Amino acid sequence: MITLYDYELSGNCYKIRLLLSILGIKYHSHTVEFYPAAEHKAPWFRQINPLGQLPVLQDDDYTLCDSQAIMVYLASRYDSGNSWYPRDDPQRLGSVSRWLAFADSITNSASSARLVEGFFYDFDAVACRAEAHRLFRILDEHLWFNAKSGHHWIVTGDSPTIADIACFPYIMLSEEGSISRQDYPAIRRWSDHVKRIPGFTVMPGIFPAGPAQ
């Protein structure tokens, strides 16, 4: 049985809920009140994850923290098609790692700006927003040229990878940190594709897409 230590408004927890839903895996959600109770800093939770961060996944007696690491584990263990974490293709696998790191940078900028505005964190919001815009420009350019070559996803290939899921939530929630996505049309089109993946699910602040043609 899989248990996810979960918080509904967390983009990092949403990454895991999204992948679990797409892979069709049943799980139990254990809510940890991030705000205002700060339960993720409570002693009982720090026994599970000393970093005091969400999400944490327990699969029987195996415990893992860090959203990108959890996605690597879930895709490697439960994706029978081997497409979400393409272990058989060294170049695509390398690219997945590169964009997982990029997703962490998005979390450190776009998500931080959202924490300032929505959860009263004390970060430099101006610097966070500037950094998020710099990253979004890079991703928009990457996706624009990928699309020109007929590829819809972040990592070149016919199907999406966990890199798409890793980048998706905090890009889509960026406006909650006053980061407009108006200047990133290729990102906006890519997000339509992500929303049309079978099994896609939403969270507060993220809307579904309409039907594809």
Q: Which residues bind other proteins (CB under 8 A)?
A: 141, 144-145, 148-149, 181-183, 185, 188-189, 192, 207-213
Choose between 59 and 140: whose C-beta lies nearer to other proteins: 140
Alpha-carbon span 165 to 193, nearest angstrom: 11
How far apart are alpha carbons 181 and 194 in whole angstroms?
A: 16
Q: Residue 70 CB, nearest distance to other proteins (Å)?
A: 29
Supply the minimum distance, in Å, between the C-beta of residue 208 and other proteins: 8
- Shortest distance, position 183 Cβ to other proteins, whole Å: 4
Q: How far is the CB of 141 from other proteins (least distance, A)?
A: 7
- State which residue, 53 or 174, has the beta carbon closest to other proteins: 174
Q: Could you tell me if 21 and 207 are in contact, meaning their C-beta atoms sit under 8 angstroms apart?
A: no
Nearer to other proteins, 17 or 133 (CB): 133
Per the document, the length of the chain is 213
Q: Which is nearer to other proteins, 1 or 212 (CB)?
A: 212
